Amino acid sequence: MTGVQTCALPIYRHSEASARPTVAYAVLGLLARRSRSGYELAAALREPVSFFWSAPHSQLYPTLSALETDGLVTHEQSPGPGPRARKTYRITGAGRRALADWAVSTPPPRAGRDEFVLRAYSAWVAEPDAVAALFRTEAERHRARLVEYERFRRELVDASGGAPPGPRQPEFGNWLALHNGLGYERAYLEWCEWALDLLLAADRRS
Amino acid sequence: MTGVQTCALPIYRHSEASARPTVAYAVLGLLARRSRSGYELAAALREPVSFFWSAPHSQLYPTLSALETDGLVTHEQSPGPGPRARKTYRITGAGRRALADWAVSTPPPRAGRDEFVLRAYSAWVAEPDAVAALFRTEAERHRARLVEYERFRRELVDASGGAPPGPRQPEFGNWLALHNGLGYERAYLEWCEWALDLLLAADRRS
DNA sequence: CGGGTCATGTAACGAGTTACATGATTGG
DNA sequence: CCAATCATGTAACTCGTTACATGACCCG
């Protein structure tokens, strides 16, 4: 009888009362701009919100229920074309407060994840030609995103008449997210091209 | 009886025979450089491998078992200090091939995730002062990482005598991953400082 | 009349995180 | 003697993805 006897019924309390999954704040962030139906939210979440967070609709609907239970959103029904009614969701005052609190709370230092860099880390075991092909494909992907993001930037600039949006305007958030995306894609593309140069230089030497 | 009758026993086959979780390739990537014990692998995975992939040891041990079942790694036991024997893992030829295949296979276009940018996207609902504080903390974090990465770079340059490593050397992978990390952190830091300038300019106007 | 869009949900699984668990040796 | 390190594993949970499910309307 030397071991420490532990409780047979494990009581896990590692989720604080106010802890919500990140997708909930993606939803609140969208609803803070304007009310939307579940379908519209699902469509918005299919393409990454703020360029760096996406979710399928299967994650959305339970999230909306949970947010409503907590009083952070409400909904109004209207007849839909199909077998189910359309629900238009609106953020509440409590929801807006929860979003603001979350937005400025320092996030725990989470490790970023990038599977492509992990592949690059092991690229030395593969054929250099195949590695070059991989990087060319990846570069193309980021080039395409850059073009898209530049288009978004022009749209935002045109919409706000040249001046950057004030820090209380919704466009401020778009502006921040977009510029992060632009910097990210530019840096990534430069890295891909640098890697291709390195591979080319090594190929010429041999 | 209008509905489509589906099989009562759902047969899910959406995982290909060779599909392995990403953490498995992080492990193989480490073992391709040199053999390591589970404990050493766990320590290496605690800090992100290739700067962009980390895992706790609880994910490691089942992964090692699975890799061994598939014949991609083997292990030798030696007596450990504690109640359990130390197992030193070695990658097999099949493991090296699987790693090389994975490394150059085009990854499915996954959406990157960045919770901080999502916060920034909703920062307009919060106090501008709190937003500025948030960005200062974040900038500091990236500045610290940059300093660390610059140190790694000097170490790598010193170790290889100035010349960049050839595309068949393990250091090539480190070199690629490190330069991605450097570009990423530089871009992120610049973005944080740009955002702080924007907030400061708006503050002066009011 | 067949496929796409609108519209909402549930089921099952895989991936990732946190907590539980054991126990010898080493250093302050 | 207490804490950290070495050393390995399991249990329980949350988060995220893929697949299943229904059905009306619109357009060609």
CB neighbourhood size of A152 (10 A): 15
Q: Residue range A162-191: average pLDDT?
A: 96
B191 neighbourhood in chain A, CB within 8 Å: 179-180, 183
- Contact call for B104 and A119, based on CB within 8 A: yes
pLDDT of B4: 37
Q: Are B42 and B54 in contact (CB under 8 A)?
A: no
Give residue B91's pLDDT. Answer: 98
pLDDT in the model for residue A6: 36
Q: Cβ(B20)–Cβ(B72) under 8 Å?
A: no
Residues of B in contact with A119 (CB under 8 A): 25, 102-104, 107
B149 CA → C26 C1’, Å? 33
B18 — pLDDT class (breaks 50, 70, 90): low
With 0.85 as the threshold, say if the pTM is over it.
yes
Rounded CA gap, B124 and B101, in Å? 45
Residue A77, CB, less than 7 Å from strand C? no
Q: Beta-carbon neighbour count of residue B204 at 10 Å?
A: 7
Interface test with A, best of B49, B97, B124, B172 (most A CBs within 10 A): B124
Are A27 and A35 contacting, i.e. CB atoms less than 8 angstroms apart?
no
Continuous H helices in chain B: 22-31, 38-46, 57-69, 93-104, 115-121, 128-160, 170-205
Average pLDDT rounded to a whole number, residues A158-173: 92
pLDDT for A150 equals 97
CB within 8 Å: B104 and A134: yes
Flag whether pLDDT at B151 surpasses 50.
yes
For residue A25, which amino acid is it?
Answer: Y
Percentage of residues in chain A having pLDDT higher than 90: 79
More confidently predicted of B119 and A159: B119
Query: Is residue A170 classed as helix, strand or coil in its secondary structure?
Result: helix
Residue B202, pLDDT above cutoff 80? yes
Q: How far apart are the first and last CA of chain A?
A: 68
Burial annotation B131-144 (CB, 10 A radius, 16+ → b, else e): bbebbeebbebbee
Amino acid code (one letter) for A53: W
Mean pLDDT across chain A, nearest whole number?
Answer: 90
Whole-angstrom Cα distance, residue A115 to residue B22? 7
Burial of B70 (0-12, 13-18, 19+ CB in 10 A): middle
Confidence band, pLDDT 50/70/90 cuts, at residue B82: low
Q: Judged by CB atoms within 8 Å, which residues 118-147 of B form the interface with A? A: 118-128, 130-131, 133-134, 137, 141
Given a contact cutoff of 8 angstroms between Cβ atoms, the answer to whether A152 and A171 are in contact is no
Min Cα–Cα distance to chain B from A93, Å: 11
In this prediction, residue A108 carries a pLDDT of: 82
Contact A121 B29 (CB under 8 A): yes
* Size of the A and B interface in Cβ pairs below 8 Å: 245
Query: What gap in Å lies between CA A109 and CA B137, rounded to an integer?
Result: 11
Task: Summarize the confidence of residues A108-117 as an average pLDDT.
Answer: 90
The beta strands (E) that lie in A52-129 are given as: 73-78, 86-91
Instruction: State whether the beta carbon of A37 lies below 7 angstroms from any atom of strand C.
Output: yes
Given this model, what pLDDT does residue B12 score? 38
pLDDT of the residue at A163: 85
Cα–chain center distance at B105: 17
- CB contact under 8 Å between B52 and A137, yes or no, is no
Q: Are B60 and B45 in contact (CB under 8 A)?
A: yes
Q: Which residues of B touch A96 (CB under 8 A)?
A: 125
Name the strand (E) or helix (H) holding A115: helix A115-121
- pLDDT grade, residue A27 (50/70/90)? very high
pLDDT at B13 over 70: no
SS3 of B126-185: the string is CCHHHHHHHHHHHHHHHHHHHHHHHHHHHHHHHHHCCCCCCCCCHHHHHHHHHHHHHHHH
